[in-house]
């Protein structure tokens, strides 16, 4: 096994590169939390250079990692990237689909290093904000319930809605997988049995918005996520388009996750102009929401 050595800045002594902890590498690749990865290593599911890995193992550039016998491309990107993708309906959030439906990953730019990791999911019939990053630790932190990152949705509801129902949805109702509630509900227009609402969740459980409304006898006929934390969906970003966040916005995303920031890859001039154009639209959207909640 070849050990990579680096030269100290203060001397001519070569210092061995000890590598990174295996569970950290796997977590940063988006396979799950470090604790979950430690469990997989304990279960013998991970091999390092063909040998069953153990907790405490470190991995260096050039080594082979396999999970359940399948090789993992693990060379991490030197600089983090974060994308905002406007997911259309009728796309799945997995990397492949047994029914050959289109996946969100097909619309993303290709990477020379690392891989895109989705920050949560949106179901097949839901559109809107979906974040991607090359930093698995960031993705895991944003999704973790302890960070209470807000998810705001615009929902069209079919059924009679009264004040008592809205109060119940904010106080909390019991679903199959435990209690759930909206932290905020704002009127979004419409009348009769076909009305729009802006609703906010502090977690990302499966079909939670739909199930909350269904618990009150209503049906969700349209669902769109318009905000994830401080990241708004720009009105000019069309469905199926993506937008790369610049350093200042990535810093905000790391703050949302409670993590120290990391440098981003520099944007091309074209992407920078595109980003600034959409950012102006996002600021207008933020202003509209502030007026709704004010």
Domain assignment of residue 140, yes or no: yes
pLDDT at 105 over 80: yes
Domain assignment of residue 77, yes or no: no
By the 8 A CB rule, do 149 and 256 touch?
A: yes
Same domain (yes/no): 10, 68: yes
Domain assignment of residue 49, yes or no: yes
More confident residue, 146 or 61: 146
In sequence order, which residues have a C-beta less than 8 Å from that of residue 8 and are 6 or more positions away? 14, 15
pTM of the predicted protein model = 0.72
The predicted-structure confidence for 227-247, as pLDDT tens digits, reads as follows: 999 999 999 999 999 999 998
Instruction: Tell me how many domains the chain contains.
Output: 3
Q: Put residue 267 in one of left, alpha, beta given phi > 0 → left and psi -120 to 50 → alpha.
A: beta
The predicted-structure confidence for 182-231, as pLDDT tens digits, reads as follows: 999 999 998 888 999 999 999 999 999 999 999 999 999 999 999 999 99
By the 8 A CB rule, do 134 and 117 touch?
A: yes
CATH number of the domain where residue 55 is located: 3.10.290.10
Q: 70 pairs with which residues across the strands?
A: 67
Domain that holds residue 54: 5-72
CB atoms closer than 10 angstroms to residue 86: 21
The predicted-structure confidence for 90-104, as pLDDT tens digits, reads as follows: 999 998 899 999 999
Same domain (yes/no): 164, 223: yes
Token pair, residue 7, equals: 């030269």
Instruction: Show which of 228, 248, 267 is a domain's final residue.
Output: 228
123 is catalytic: yes
Angstrom distance (rounded) from CA 108 to CA 158: 34
The catalytic position among 123, 184, 251, 271 is 123
By the 8 A CB rule, do 275 and 245 touch?
A: yes
Instruction: Show which of 194, 228, 262 is a domain's final residue.
Output: 228
Domain assignment of residue 254, yes or no: yes
Q: Distances in Å between the alpha carbon of 164 and those of 96, 169, 251?
A: 43, 9, 40
By the 8 A CB rule, do 220 and 156 touch?
A: yes
CATH number of the domain where residue 182 is located: 3.30.2350.10
Return the pLDDT at 195: 96
């Amino acid at each position: 096994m070849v050990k990579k050595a680096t030269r100290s800045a203060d001397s001519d002594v070569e210092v061995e590169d000890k590598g990174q902890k295996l569970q950290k590498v796997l977590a940063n690749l988006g396979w799950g939390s470090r604790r979950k990865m430690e469990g997989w290593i304990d279960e013998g599911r991970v091999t390092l250079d063909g040998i069953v890995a153990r907790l405490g193992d470190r991995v260096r550039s050039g080594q082979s990692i396999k999970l359940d016998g399948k090789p993992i491309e693990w060379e991490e990107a030197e600089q983090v990237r974060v994308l905002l993708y406007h997911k259309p309906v009728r796309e799945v959030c997995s990397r492949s689909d047994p029914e050959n439906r289109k996946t969100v990953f097909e619309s993303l730019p290709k990477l020379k290093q690392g891989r895109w990791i989705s920050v949560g999911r949106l179901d097949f019939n839901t559109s809107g904000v979906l974040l991607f990053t090359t930093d698995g630790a960031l993705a895991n932190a944003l999704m973790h319930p302890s960070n209470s990152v807000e998810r705001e949705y615009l929902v069209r509801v079919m059924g009679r809605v009264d004040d008592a129902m809205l109060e119940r949805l904010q106080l909390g109702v019991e679903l199959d997988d435990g209690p759930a509630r909206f932290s905020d509900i704002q009127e979004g227009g419409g009348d009769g049995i076909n009305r729009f609402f802006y609703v906010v969740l502090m977690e990302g459980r499966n079909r939670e918005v739909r199930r909350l409304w269904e618990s009150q006898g209503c049906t969700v006929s349209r669902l769109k996520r318009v905000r994830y934390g401080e990241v708004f969906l720009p009105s000019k970003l069309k469905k199926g388009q993506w937008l790369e966040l610049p350093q200042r916005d990535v810093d905000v995303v790391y703050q949302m996750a409670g993590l120290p920031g990391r440098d981003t890859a520099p944007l091309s001039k074209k992407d920078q102009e595109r980003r600034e154009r959409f950012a102006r639209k996002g600021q207008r959207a933020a202003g509209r929401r502030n007026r709704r909640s004010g």
